[in-house]
Amino acid sequence: MRAVVLLLGALALMAPGTAAADHAWAPVLTIDAESAKSLMDRGEPVEPLDLRPAADFQAGRLPHARSLPLRELTERVDEVPRAGIVVLYCGCPRDDLFRAYQFLRGRRHTNVYVLEGGLEAWRERGYALER
């Protein structure tokens, strides 16, 4: 699996006083669409986590994705698997997605990755979506 590490400045993305600001910043691990699909095709334990609103999730999503809207993440964090590979994606600004990643890492979810290019990168490669 090819994972790319994006180094983020802690102050550049997180305003002081926000929930995730209390956690140490870690590099954001990403996975490209090709690697994610390859792992899924091989039957590896990959769980896409769709952070978009429920209506967007219903319109089309990665195969076997779980819906957990970004605004519900803090209340439903216990639903995020701790085993396997969790691939985060959403239609939100990149900073929001990275905050979600950091939030999960701050709660010791060491198995999370951000899908490079999000759902759009998946679509651009012609990969199937579930509806």
What confidence tier does 27 reach under pLDDT thresholds 50, 70, 90? confident
Taking the C-alpha atoms of residue 46 and residue 64, their distance in angstroms, rounded to an integer, is 9
Beta 112-115 vs 28-31: how paired, if at all?
A: parallel
If you count them, how many residues does the chain have?
131
What confidence tier does 3 reach under pLDDT thresholds 50, 70, 90? very low
Taking the C-alpha atoms of residue 131 and residue 112, their distance in angstroms, rounded to an integer, is 24
Identify the H or E element spanning 74: none
- Options 3.20.130.10, 3.40.50.620, 3.30.465.10, 3.40.250.10; CATH for 3-124 is 3.40.250.10
What is the 8-class DSSP label of residue 47? E
The widest CA-to-CA distance across the chain, in whole angstroms, is: 42
Taking the C-alpha atoms of residue 98 and residue 63, their distance in angstroms, rounded to an integer, is 22
DSSP H helices in 3-117: 10-13, 33-41, 54-59, 94-106
What confidence tier does 23 reach under pLDDT thresholds 50, 70, 90? very low
* pTM exceeds 0.85 for this model: no
State yes or no: pLDDT of 89 exceeds 80.
Answer: yes
